[in-house]
Chain A
Amino acid sequence: MSADQFIQYLVDGLSKGSIYGLVGLGFTIIYAVTRIINFAQGEFVMLAGMLSFLLAITHGLPLPLAAIISILAAAATGGIMYLLAIRTARRASVVSLIIITIGAAIFIRGIAGEQLGKDAIRPPYFTGKEPITFLDANIHPQDLWIIGNTIAVTILIHLFLSRTMIGKALTASAVNPRAESLMGINIKAMALFAFIFAATIGGIGGVVMAPRTMMAYNMGVLVGLKGFIAASIGGFSSPVAAVIGGMILGIVESLAVGVDWGPFTSSYKDVIAISVLLLILLIRSGKLAEEERTG
């Protein structure tokens, strides 16, 4: 692999990893506040990505407007999902909650498939597709949008969580919900906020990534799984860690595609990503079991 190829794969990996990171960030926030793993996390990405195509191409809205509406729609879906499905299932077991969020995931996927179409679609690039040459490597401008967007979002979220009142409340409810409710903070409102927040971030990811990767109604599962892997690499500890986890996963995947594997083709990249997950889970299984007991 030559140097320019390496840079190309690296940028490609960072670009893909950015999305995994944003999805993983959503997982981390919801898990921190509610101890729920939201299996519908990838569907927010899919929904916003597909909506942005529908609004921009089919209905001819200007791209920025289409993007904003799509993100708001994803955010609303997250909020509605919490209010209708999660909050009504009070004191549900972990298994019940898993099944409920999976139900929500295929519910969203089914509606998207019926209403937005079953073909893979690609919204327009933000700023054309003329590659930018950097150290002999050709870089797709949309990749720069994706990576730049993720860095910006991560910094904003970090500032939001550490500097604002509501952000601090969110962090506190992750650490000790009981103590927090004694301090007069509404835990349920925090949970609702976490879902809307995570869905918004997923939506942003979907809108930015859709022009590069294309979008189809059934993409949510895999995107969600990759996001979960990102969050696991980050140890579900902080939003920034999840984004870094996503970047690592993206680069591993991308380099795995770049290396010549002989009889194995690049279609095995998902197998590699999932193997990474299994490996991490098994290495950390002792600690995870502890966490489930106490958390």
Chain B
Amino acid sequence: MLAKALRKWPYLIIAALLALLILAPFDWFLGQYRTLMIFIGLSTMVTVGLCLLLGYTGQVSLGQAAFYGLGAYFSAVLSKNYYINPWLAMLIAAMATVTFAYVIGYPIFRLRGNYLAMATLGIGIIMWILFRQLSQFTGGPDGMTGIPFLSIGGFAFESSFRRYFLVWGFCLAVLLISQNIVNSRTGRALRAIHGSEAAAESIGINVAQFKVKIFVLSAVFASLAGSLFVHHLRFVSPQPFDFFASVKLVVMAVIGGLASVWGAIFGAGATRILSDELLLRFGEWDVVIYGAILMLVMIFMPEGLFVKLKDIVGQVRSRFERRGAES
């Protein structure tokens, strides 16, 4: 009985997760954690992009928070200071981010490994300085408040209950798009690039183009999440987009399993719960714990924590099945 249930576990788990996602925001269930769950959704969107880049394609970005910030600031400034419709602002933000990612993507993806990592780190820091310094637009280090809510017709996303479904709707769309990409020709090309760039090149894969494309895609995901972020919080400041934020995204990707789309939810969730809920009670040791997690996971299970756990579940399952077959 148990063996049979376990064999079908992917569907069961997906169904259970979906039910959990739909029921979670109600007050009689996990309503008190609604804000936390909204942030998990936003972080998941950014993390998925990073997983595609880092896990599948093997390219490091230590400045991913910059794209999150670009989306956030474009949306905030356009919708608040220039009274542009928030949806349009979101679209403009995404397009601006695409352009930016494209323009920097082509030159910096001529770099590899360590140099690529340093270059993205540098770009992330430059963007963070600009968010702080262009204070006539961004409000400087203090940030800006009074950003409008998103709305459709007369239906405004003014309660966290409504925004929960908005954010998770976007998040699931991003996850499904990523899942499709991973299982497509493009996904196989990316894995080939991860394996050996020379080999990928030799079978006709345009390595540079694929790298830039996936970089741009990850930037768009981050930009959309950034836009949703400011319309949720109605406040923006440079702090969530600093170097440490980019490292935190890497932590999420590493916990989630670098090459695992759905693991991103797990990574973002675990990291958010750790920093927003648990660690607040023990002081700010989260930085130390993130450092330890990064080192331990990369040393002992470089494929990522979530993937490792999945393997263990798989082993347990096959043991059950064998026992079922014997009896």
Contacts and interface: CB of A to CB of B under 8 A. Distances in A.
B133 A106 contact: no
Contact of B294 (A92, A99, A281, A288): A99
A260 B174 CA distance: 46
A267 B287 contact: no
A285 B243 contact: no
Contact of B121 (A107, A225, A285): A225
Given A106-B244, A288-B112, A265 B294 contact: no
Contact of A107 (B114, B132, B291): B291
Contacts of B36: none
Given A93-B302, A107-B292, A288-B115, A265 B133 contact: yes
A100 B288 contact: no
Interface string A94-107: 11101110111111
A98 B112 CA distance: 12
Main secondary structure of the interface of A (DSSP, over half): helix
A274 interface: yes
A94 B121 CA distance: 16
A102 B60 CA distance: 12
A20 to B, nearest CB: 14
Contacts of A268: 129, 133
B288 A281 contact: no
A80 to B, nearest CB: 12
Main secondary structure of the interface of B (DSSP, over half): helix
Contacts of B3: none
Contacts of B92: none
Q: Give the contact-size bracket for chain B.
A: 35 or more
B175 interface: no
A289 interface: yes
A267 B133 contact: yes
A92 B298 contact: yes
Given A114-B284, A268-B129, A274 B122 contact: yes
Contacts, number: 140
A65 interface: no
B312 interface: no
Contacts of A271: 126, 129-130
Interface in B179-209: none
A268 B135 CA distance: 13
B119 A99 contact: no
Interface of B: 54, 58, 60, 62, 107-108, 110-115, 117-119, 121-123, 125-126, 129-130, 132-133, 243-244, 247, 250, 254, 283-295, 298-299, 302
8 contacts: A94-B112, A102-B294, A110-B284, A113-B284, A228-B118, A274-B123, A285-B111, A289-B110
Interface of A: 37, 39, 84-85, 88-89, 92-96, 98-100, 102-111, 113-114, 218, 221-222, 225, 228, 265, 267-268, 270-271, 274-275, 277-278, 281-282, 285-286, 288-289, 292
> Which 6 A-B residue pairs are closest in the complex by CB-CB distance?
A107-B291, A103-B294, A110-B287, A110-B288, A103-B295, A37-B114
